Amino acid sequence: MPAPNTKAPRPASKASGTVADKLLRLGLRHDIDLALHLPLRYEDETQVVPIRDAHAGGSTPAQVEGVVTACEIAYRPRRQLMVTIEDDSGALVMRFLNFYGSQVKQLAAGTRVRARGEVRHGFFGDEMVHPAYKVVVEGAPLPQALTPVYPAGEGLSQAALRSAIAQAMQRLDWHDTLPPAVLDKLSLWPFRPAVELLHNPPPGVDEHALAERSHPAWIRMKFDELLAQQLSLKRAQDARRLHGATPLANVGQLSQALLASLPFRLTGAQQRVLAEIRHDIQQAWPMQRLLQGDVGSGKTVVAALAAAQAIDSGFQAVLMAPTEILAEQHFRKIAAWMAPLGVEVAWLTGSLKKKEKDAARERIASGDAKLIVGTHALIQDAVQFSGVGLVIVDEQHRFGVAQRLALRNKGLEAANQPHQMMMSATPIPRTLAMTYYADLEVSVIDELPPGRTPVLTRIVDQNRRDEVIERVRAAAVEGRQVYWVCPLIEESEALQLQTATDTHATLAAALPELQVGLVHGRMKPAEKQAVMDRFTGGELHLLVATTVIEVGVDVPNASLMVIEHAERFGLSQLHQLRGRVGRGSAASVCLLLYQSPLGPVARERLAIMRETADGFEISRRDLQLRGPGEFLGARQSGQAMLRFADLETDQWLVEAARDVAASLLAQDETTVERHLARWLGSREDFLKA
């Protein structure tokens, strides 16, 4: 494999098979991988302080040097090694709870050691517990520079890593992948000095900037990494155009009839995004568009109109939702729109009886069913479509990447992919959208249908539950309906279920004149549906529910939402739940019950909910509170691809990288190639995931 051509990356180490194996396990195969394996942090071993000054209390580690005066194994009560060292100023004990016999020999009295660690006041005087130490001779020189600490794998010592990295850096082809004009414009450091500084920070370097990763050397690394990410995502987007797709060119009779039959006019925002989608799906390459719109903004009708265009053009449209409840809601709503216009809508979920399933599959395969709504049962192998032109995935972030790809591949012949539209009510903050979604077009419905009254949100102490129950009664008397969301108990599903059942019993007893229903995730789908039907039909006044109602459920007459133990929910969950009310014209209220005392983060979350109903704002504040890693799940967040850059603190760099990526792709293919080769190399598969 190593080619005579010197451009080919060389194996990092031939000398030691085992070290090379361990390096490989860290993904360090080529010299460039090693050079870009940058320190996590640095240790300052450039100074030795007198033992007397290395005083306890501070949490910064100190380095001392002394001669061993005693080395003994003690039992107090655990077996441990106590090594006393002394210098001219004083003495301290190095204490090891785990140690090898060889250490006892190595640290015999008279040995000179340098030890580095935090000094604490122990029972027997000042001590360092498990210090880093080494045996030295008197007058041994101190390192001139900070010592890098690398991310390491099991059994791979820092020393071995350091030496492998140093060797790789001697062999490396150091050309700068970026043109001088780009470096100038953004005041970026050149590549080589940046990498060298990070591995070997010179004396006097700004340690704070190094630790914060705001040093220009770090900035250069982050920029390069973000640029590689933007380039590869944009490439993926362009590559899509190489796939064919069937143009869905006909905005015909069904589209017109559907639009005419709606009981409302589309909002300006709906019209705009519909125009974007209509344009895209008329092309001969597959659309990949994310339709974002806050809870209640009316994404479903846009989806239905897009589907109508597919059907008008002679193809099937598929709508997939993450839960049965949501899929069923879509089915009902869309079937109610479409069926009177003579369109057969099929319904497929895992919970259907075999006979029903078979019947649905048959209608789908024959092409009689033009619109197919369902859960991920749709991507199971047994389902054959007759010609899918458009795939719509609702609440797409709840599906794994693999599931979405599987659905896309269900399309026509391999050469022709269906157009794909994803819908999400979870607004993605800008930086995340630019990374995770860089290969998608994005349409945003930034306007709610008219006549909505904003939901009034109140934060209420749990011990005022009785008053809350009275409000429920009052709302029901006025003919309104109420949701009561049970506490989330993440640790135990059984307990959560129990709580929901108990809550239902308590509320039914406290409100004997009301019809109270219960819906939770453990019910059989048919039971669940029966309850939802009764609520939708207005038969139930109060619906006690777990978070199964979180997404998509649409009952406009419901105007009061009670969420118990709201402090246990995340912001986006609260926003989704609250979005179940305020869908009709009645003034709606959301009561967030909390158990005091509230922790600072929970308090902040509830305050945000009270202050704003804007999903984008909530999402932005959520990102601040949680950080992007957790925001979408680490693997999906785009952050997962990034080792150095931080989407939160490096937003300007993301934007700069995006701009540079666009201009390089347009004008400078050589630079693009070189940059991607350096930064992706063996990591390309990962980016495709």
| Interacting residue ranges for ligand ADP, rule: CB under 6 A | 264-267, 270, 293, 295-301, 425, 449, 554, 556, 583
Phi, psi of 28, deg, nearest 5 = -100, 90
Closer residue to ligand ADP in complex, CB, 190/454: 454
131 contact choice in ligand ADP, Mg ion, none (CB below 5 to 8 Å, kind-dependent)? none
| Cβ at position 552, least distance to Mg ion in Å | 4
164 contact choice in Mg ion, ligand ADP, none (CB below 5 to 8 Å, kind-dependent)? none
How many other C-beta atoms lie within 10 A of the C-beta of residue 383?
Answer: 18
| Integer-rounded Cα radius of gyration of the chain | 31
Closer residue to ligand ADP in complex, CB, 294/567: 294
Closer residue to ligand ADP in complex, CB, 554/630: 554
Closer residue to ligand ADP in complex, CB, 334/352: 334
Closer residue to ligand ADP in complex, CB, 528/583: 583
| Cβ at position 557, least distance to Mg ion in Å | 17
Helical segments of 107-242, H only = 158-171, 180-186, 191-199, 207-212, 216-240
Q: Report d(CA 43, CA 145) in Å as an integer.
A: 9
Fill in the per-residue mask, 328 to 357: x = in contact with Mg ion (CB under 5 A), - = not in contact.
------------------------------
Closer residue to ligand ADP in complex, CB, 132/266: 266
Residues 557/273, Cβ–Cβ less than 8 Å: no
Binding residues for Mg ion restricted to 539-558, rule: CB under 5 A: 552
Closer residue to Mg ion in complex, CB, 9/552: 552
411 contact choice in ligand ADP, Mg ion, none (CB below 5 to 8 Å, kind-dependent)? none
Closer residue to Mg ion in complex, CB, 166/262: 262
Closer residue to Mg ion in complex, CB, 13/292: 292
Query: What is the DSSP secondary structure assignment for residue 14, as one 8-state letter?
Result: S
Q: Report d(CA 430, CA 432) in Å as an integer.
A: 5
For residue 400, what are its two tokens?
């794994």
Q: Report d(CA 602, CA 585) in Å as an integer.
A: 31
Closer residue to Mg ion in complex, CB, 475/485: 485
Among 479, 461, 475, residue whose Cα is nearest residue 561: 475
Phi, psi of 425, deg, nearest 5 = -100, -5
Closer residue to ligand ADP in complex, CB, 298/418: 298
Residues 298/579, Cβ–Cβ less than 8 Å: no
Describe the strand order of the beta sheet including 62-75 as a list of residue ranges: 120-122, 125-129, 91-96, 79-86, 62-75, 112-117, 132-135
| Cβ at position 371, least distance to ligand ADP in Å | 16
Among 147, 166, 154, 197, residue whose Cα is nearest residue 23: 154
CA atoms within 13 A on the CB side of 26: 25
Return the amino acid letter for 647.
Answer: L
For residue 512, what are its two tokens?
């004997």
Distances from the Cα of 579 to the Cα of 520, 550, 553, 626, angstroms:
18, 9, 9, 22
- Residue of minimal CB distance from Mg ion? 552
| Cβ at position 583, least distance to ligand ADP in Å | 5
| Cβ at position 535, least distance to ligand ADP in Å | 15
| Cβ at position 300, least distance to Mg ion in Å | 5
Closer residue to ligand ADP in complex, CB, 247/556: 556
Q: How far is CA 520 from the centre of its chain?
A: 26
Q: If DSSP codes are grouped into helix, strand and coil, which group holds residue 291?
A: strand
Closer residue to ligand ADP in complex, CB, 246/270: 270
- Residue of minimal CB distance from ligand ADP? 298
118 contact choice in ligand ADP, Mg ion, none (CB below 5 to 8 Å, kind-dependent)? none
Residues 71/83, Cβ–Cβ less than 8 Å: yes
267 contact choice in ligand ADP, Mg ion, none (CB below 5 to 8 Å, kind-dependent)? ligand ADP
Q: If DSSP codes are grouped into helix, strand and coil, which group holds residue 58?
A: coil
If binding means CB under 5 A, how many residues of this protein chain bind Mg ion?
Answer: 1
Q: Which residues pair with 64 in a beta bridge?
A: 115
Closer residue to Mg ion in complex, CB, 418/552: 552
Residues 549/543, Cβ–Cβ less than 8 Å: yes
Binding residues for Mg ion restricted to 646-675, rule: CB under 5 A: none
651-676: burial string, b at 16+ Cβ within 10 Å, e else: eebbebbbebbeebbeebeebbeebb
556 contact choice in Mg ion, ligand ADP, none (CB below 5 to 8 Å, kind-dependent)? ligand ADP
Q: If DSSP codes are grouped into helix, strand and coil, which group holds residue 583?
A: coil
DSSP string, 551-580: SS---TTEEEEEETTGGGS-HHHHHHHHTT
Among 390, 396, 352, residue whose Cα is nearest residue 372: 390
| Cβ at position 33, least distance to Mg ion in Å | 44
| Cβ at position 274, least distance to ligand ADP in Å | 11
293 contact choice in ligand ADP, Mg ion, none (CB below 5 to 8 Å, kind-dependent)? ligand ADP
| Cβ at position 424, least distance to ligand ADP in Å | 10
Mention every residue, 6+ apart, whose C-beta is less than 8 A from residue 47. 63, 142
Distances from the Cα of 67 to the Cα of 53, 126, 135, 569, angstroms:
17, 16, 10, 56
- Residue with tokens 């008053």, as numbered in its chain: 467
Cα angle, residue 138 at apex, residues 136 and 140 outer, rounded to 5°: 65
297 contact choice in ligand ADP, Mg ion, none (CB below 5 to 8 Å, kind-dependent)? ligand ADP
Q: If DSSP codes are grouped into helix, strand and coil, which group holds residue 306?
A: helix
Closer residue to ligand ADP in complex, CB, 252/449: 449
| Cβ at position 538, least distance to ligand ADP in Å | 15
| Cβ at position 425, least distance to ligand ADP in Å | 5
| Cβ at position 511, least distance to ligand ADP in Å | 27
Contacting positions for Mg ion (CB under 5 A): 552
